[in-house]
Structure 1
Amino acid sequence: MVPELVARLTALGHEVVVETDAGRAALIEDTEYAEAGATVVADPLPDAELVLSVQPLDRESARRLPEGAVTVSFLPTGLETDLVRDLRDLGITSLAMELVPRISRAQSMDALSSQSLVAGYRSAIVCAGLLRRFFPLNMTAAGTVPPAQIVVLGAGVAGLQAIATAKRLGAVVRAYDVRAAAAEEIRSMGAVAIELDLPTLDGAGGYAREMGEERAQLQRELLAPYVAAADGLITTAAVPGRTAPVLVTRSMVEQMRPGSVVVDLAADSGGNVEGVVAGEVVRIGHAQVWGGRNVPAQMPGPASRLYAQNLVHLVTLLTDSSDGADGAPSGALSLDLDDEILAGACVTHAGVIRHEPTRVLLEGPSEGAGA
């Protein structure tokens, strides 16, 4: 939450309680929350009806919530199996921001896209900072300095923002994505679309389908010359809940020129580049390889504001719009699981795991499934 949005929640009838120092990493002081109408306390959980956070609560914190409370956060269910079991057994309703359906009505709640926007921008800035040469073309009396050659792999929200930022900095940008619509989107950003003689892999929800190893190997072979010619390589291909595909092998990076830079935004989920280490800069051949770790948190101000906007829109959907007896907004929660947004985001509710892939992972297939 950010102070300027507290009033949006109080206008719905909610009492907003902020944990002490919650905004410190985003350079927001407790007094700013208080001035905006929130109450700041050291331990807000025992009386909480609705808990908003970035990362999921730890298991100890979850056990301190009252039964029937609602939590909203990112919740990687495949990695947080013990927590999901606890939430189920405690009767806690949990909503996962990464499970919000990618439909038009839910765009304002799409936290994956808002945080990818931040990460994509950051990736180009990191690349420019590590690369010991100019991004733009410079023509001087002493001679001409050619522009940097940047390649971006993956043209989702993060990739397109990386392209746009690198272009604004003056680089020559080429980009590739396995989806059919991506080439036009890449060109719309002023970059050159790399076109390989391979079938596209469009999947559900705007994501790419997983590729087989034979196709992946052929793709790597076709991309190798573009990687070798790049001064900077930015990779952004990640799908929530899955291991990132390896798009670039160590041998491909070893073909890059001295001083080259690789920025891997997917390092947290295994990495697109073989040999990348999340949170570290490693050297492969002549290139520096930067592994992104929780990249949006490296720009906490804009990341917090965008995420808070996503949360406010979701809380509005969760709030009963009727007025109380005194004519003021009631502030009552109304979890309508017939609503496709709330149904899609819901992991646990009333002692049941409602997100089917997570339920199968933790409890196994239902009897008669597949019959």
Structure 2
Amino acid sequence: MIIGVLKEPSFESRVSLLPEAVAALTKKGHELWVEKGAGALSFSTDEQYRQAGASLMDRDQVLKAKVILAMHAPAGGSLTPGTVLIGIFQPLYQFRLIQEWAAAGLTVFSMDMLPRTTRAQSMDVLSSQANIAGYKAVLLAANTYSRYLPMFMTAAGSIAPAKFLILGAGVAGLQAIATARRLGAVVEVFDTRPAVKEEVMSLGAKFIEVEGAADASSAGGYAVEQDAAFQAKQQQRIAESITRADIVITTAQIPGKPAPKLITNAMVNSMRPGSVIVDLAASTGGNTSLTKDNEVLVHDGVTIIGNSNLSAGMPSDASKLYGKNLQNFLQLITGKDAVLDLNWEDDLVKGTCICYDREIINDRVKALTT
């Protein structure tokens, strides 16, 4: 099977496959076509791809491959009907584009729609990238913050440790907790899912409990919408904690809907000058009322960083993990002799596929387009 790897847009430093992943797929009998310069921002040269067994081509040539790997929706050039497109396409937000792809006869797999089951863990791109985002969020906050993170006792006096508040204890939140604790900070954590309390506490953080949350056990690890009574209690507890916080990292998102507004302007105003907020939900509206996607702003001395693409700040390892996720998924959809073999009885194949045979087949996306 011919697999094409596209160069990503200028804002993206990651690539779908590093040379090591190309070599592994080549050994399995696949033919790899890589767009020239695709790995440059991930510190992988065209020569390294050649040595791994890939053919380096112009974009128009790569687009003729049977399977196209691209993290973001490809721009420029045209795809022929029957082409299989695999990436992170956010179909719950980009459903108009999905309609166009379905009409064009493309088979589209969006890895962010992969069912989050135990069997899917090795293919879970959201988790692999969120882990990096949580780590980078703490480093970015520490670099922006005007004080130390750990406690220091010096001849000139003592420095109190920084206080973190992390909203959301998913993969990104848990990594943020671990990283902040390693750097010596004091950490409080809020999450609507009581089930994560034990994991939060095992990392050395304090868990803020609010009773009455809606059951999120069937939401695949995501937050779910809460009723008005819970939201009121939630806001009160967050307001109490945020006045003590020096750094806040927010990660809460609800698939297919705007990010919940957890931090009001009044809460931001209650923080002391020099405090920092890193909002990882910026691309879906942000968890604060002031967040601007891909922007850094200062409100009454509080720096608010809106960045949902922090994993791209570590392009080498982010690409390595993403590529391994794709290798495992490609193994799922290819049979003997490295040919495409789509088993629609497999819940991972069916759940990840968005459109096939000129129809949108994912129920959640279909509901948005009718």
Count of matched residue pairs: 352
Q: 1:262 aligns with which of 242, 265, 277?
A: 277
Q: Distance in 1 between matches of 2:212 and 2:271?
A: 24
Q: Distance in 1 between matches of 2:183 and 2:349?
A: 40
Q: Distance in 1 between matches of 2:298 and 2:236?
A: 22
Structure 2 regions of 5+ residues with no counterpart? 1-16
State yes or no: 1:35 paired with 2:17: no
State yes or no: 1:134 paired with 2:148: yes
Amino acid at match of 2:72: Q
Contact 1:48–1:65 (CA under 8 A) maintained in structure 2: no
Q: 1:172 aligns with which of 171, 183, 186?
A: 186
> 1:54: which partner in 2?
71
1:91-106 correspondence to structure 2 within 5 Å: 91-106=105-120
Q: CA deviation at 1:155?
A: 0.2
State yes or no: 1:17 paired with 2:33: yes
Seen in structure 2, the aligned counterparts of structure 1 residues 137 and 358 have a Cα distance that, compared at 3 Å, is same
Q: 1:210 aligns with which of 225, 248, 254?
A: 225
> 1:244: which partner in 2?
259
SS in 2 for 1:206: coil
Which is higher, the Rg of structure 1 or of structure 2?
A: 1
Q: Deviations over 1:33-92 (max 9, x none)?
A: 11111111112334210011111223x54xx22321211011222433333223222221
Q: CA deviation at 1:337?
A: 1.2
Q: Distance in 2 between matches of 1:123 and 1:213?
A: 30
Q: 1:159 aligns with which of 173, 195, 205?
A: 173
Q: CA deviation at 1:135?
A: 0.6
> 2:42: which partner in 1?
26
SS in 2 for 1:163: helix
- Percent same amino acid among aligned pairs? 39
> 2:345: which partner in 1?
338
Q: Deviations over 1:302-329 (max 9, x none)?
A: 2111111111100111111x3xxxxxxx
Q: Distance in 2 between matches of 1:137 and 1:252?
A: 26
Q: 1:307 aligns with which of 307, 314, 322?
A: 322
Q: CA deviation at 1:282?
A: 1.3
> 1:325: which partner in 2?
none
Q: 2:287 aligns with which of 272, 285, 293?
A: 272
Q: Distance in 2 between matches of 1:277 and 1:119?
A: 18
Q: CA deviation at 1:274?
A: 1.1
State yes or no: 1:228 paired with 2:243: yes
SS in 2 for 1:337: coil
Q: Distance in 1 between matches of 2:56 and 2:171?
A: 35
> 2:23: which partner in 1?
7
Q: Distance in 1 between matches of 2:170 and 2:297?
A: 26
TM-score with structure 2 length normalisation? 0.91
Amino acid at match of 1:11: K
Q: 1:288 aligns with which of 300, 303, 307?
A: 303
Amino acid at match of 2:255: P
Structure 1 regions of 5+ residues with no counterpart? 323-329, 365-371
Q: Distance in 2 between matches of 1:275 and 1:24?
A: 35
Q: Distance in 2 between matches of 1:87 and 1:232?
A: 42
Q: Distance in 2 between matches of 1:198 and 1:284?
A: 33
> 1:122: which partner in 2?
136
